[in-house]
């Protein structure tokens, strides 16, 4: 079962979260692998997508915001796009657009930043918008301040958090074909009665970037976590191994009903309506060329197939529905 755990370091301006996506991540991979057009993701794309999915869940858990968090990598290599969307209730979905071959062992920059034009964007799309309101979006390149390509998604996102949020953040991310997992450690911005205006708060916060010794100690411990440990160990064991000397306050874990879950809003019914809207003639002309009408969900990759009997049924149902509706007048 997928789970997300949040915690605070007692008396210190540092918070953390761990996410382990299991069933939800496997469902994303299953849908993609079942798609006869695309097939399963190449191993390195799978890692990339799993890491951004875990990271987006961690970020969604860390903000007070009622809306979707969308994390996108716009690539300029064989991976054109990797995108994950996490709703406030932790339902999530992810997909990647891959053109051509990605051999095992391909680096992040070879996948998405071949000519240093790749971008990472985070969008916060509020559930309820006032008229004309645009979603908030922050964009960073996939290179560091010296122009060197970043080779880990965690580095890209740490850079993003520092640049656009002025927050020291440490991320450890990993994914394989069973688990997508992540650990986030973040220094809390200075708050409290001692601070005056908002500008004072942010000024003091900026002065603290990279310098808080407690945060630095906790971050170094986080970075000592190995990929295999993050993927294989349960959350209690990870926290005990890393932070057995640090008093922690842990929150009620988010799992099961409240935890991360896969959800795509596509459905057979919706695709059926789309086919009806094409019209009977168009549907029949497709069926003269193929044995069935096949529609793939652009997002999760699942394919819906309607053979001639299914298609005829769609139009019969649509007519019946129409008659039923007009009959009520
Ligand atoms: Zn879908």
- Specify the pLDDT at position 135: 87
- Specify the pLDDT at position 328: 52
Domains, the chain, ordered by start: 3-262 (3.55.30.10), 268-327 (3.90.1280.10)
This prediction has a pTM of 0.89
- Specify the pLDDT at position 206: 65
User: How close is the Cα of 262 to the center of ligand 1, in Å?
Assistant: 10
Degrees to nearest 5, angle at CA 65 with 264 and 191:
150
- Specify the pLDDT at position 191: 52
User: How close is the Cα of 1 to the center of ligand 1, in Å?
Assistant: 21
For residue 52, give Cα distances in angstroms to 58, 102, 186, 295, 307: 10, 18, 17, 27, 37
Who's near 327: CB < 8 A, 6+ residues apart?
Answer: none
d(CA 194, CA 302): 54
Smallest CA-to-CA distance from 250 within 3, 2, 8 is with 8
User: How close is the Cα of 31 to the center of ligand 1, in Å?
Assistant: 8
- Specify the pLDDT at position 26: 98
Take residue 227 and report the two structure tokens written for it: 């990929």
User: How close is the Cα of 265 to the center of ligand 1, in Å?
Assistant: 6
Those residues of the chain that have pLDDT short of 70 are 190-207, 326-329
- Specify the pLDDT at position 192: 42
- The CA radius of gyration of the chain, in Å to the nearest whole number, is 23
For residue 164, give Cα distances in angstroms to 167, 203, 246, 287: 8, 15, 29, 52
User: How close is the Cα of 25 to the center of ligand 1, in Å?
Assistant: 14
Which residue do the tokens 């990993």 mark?
A: 174
- Specify the pLDDT at position 207: 66
């Amino acid at each position: 079962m997928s789970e997300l755990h949040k915690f605070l370091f007692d008396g210190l301006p540092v918070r953390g979260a761990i996410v382990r996506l299991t069933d939800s991540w496997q469902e994303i991979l299953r849908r993609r692998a079942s798609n006869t057009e695309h097939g399963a993701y190449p191993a390195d794309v799978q890692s990339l997508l799993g890491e951004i999915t875990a990271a987006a869940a961690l970020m969604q858990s860390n903000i007070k915001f009622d809306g979707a968090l969308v994390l996108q990598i716009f690539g300029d290599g064989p991976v054109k796009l990797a995108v994950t969307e996490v709703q406030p209730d932790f339902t999530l979905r992810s997909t990647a657009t891959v053109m051509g071959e990605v051999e095992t062992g391909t680096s992040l920059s070879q996948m998405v930043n071949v000519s240093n034009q790749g971008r990472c964007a985070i969008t916060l799309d509020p559930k309820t918008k006032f008229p004309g309101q645009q979603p908030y979006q922050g964009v960073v390149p996939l290179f560091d301040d010296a122009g060197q390509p970043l080779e880990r998604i965690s580095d890209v996102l740490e850079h993003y958090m520092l640049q656009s949020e002025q927050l020291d953040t440490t991320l450890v991310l990993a994914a394989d074909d069973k688990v997508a997992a992540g650990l986030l450690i973040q220094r809390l911005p200075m708050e409290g009665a001692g601070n005056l205006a908002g500008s004072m708060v942010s000024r003091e916060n900026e002065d603290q970037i990279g310098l808080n010794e407690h945060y630095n100690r906790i971050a170094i411990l986080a970075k000592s976590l190995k990929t295999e440990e993050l993927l294989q160990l349960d959350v209690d064991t990870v926290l005990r191994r890393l932070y057995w000397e640090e008093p922690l306050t842990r929150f009620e874990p988010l799992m099961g009903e409240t935890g991360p879950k896969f959800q795509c809003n596509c459905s057979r019914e919706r695709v059926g309506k789309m086919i009806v809207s094409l019209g009977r003639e168009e549907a029949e002309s497709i069926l003269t060329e193929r044995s069935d009408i096949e529609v793939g969900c652009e997002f999760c990759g699942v394919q819906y197939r309607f053979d001639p009997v299914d298609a005829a049924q769609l139009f019969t149902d649509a007519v019946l529905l129409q008659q039923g509706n007009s009959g009520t007048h």
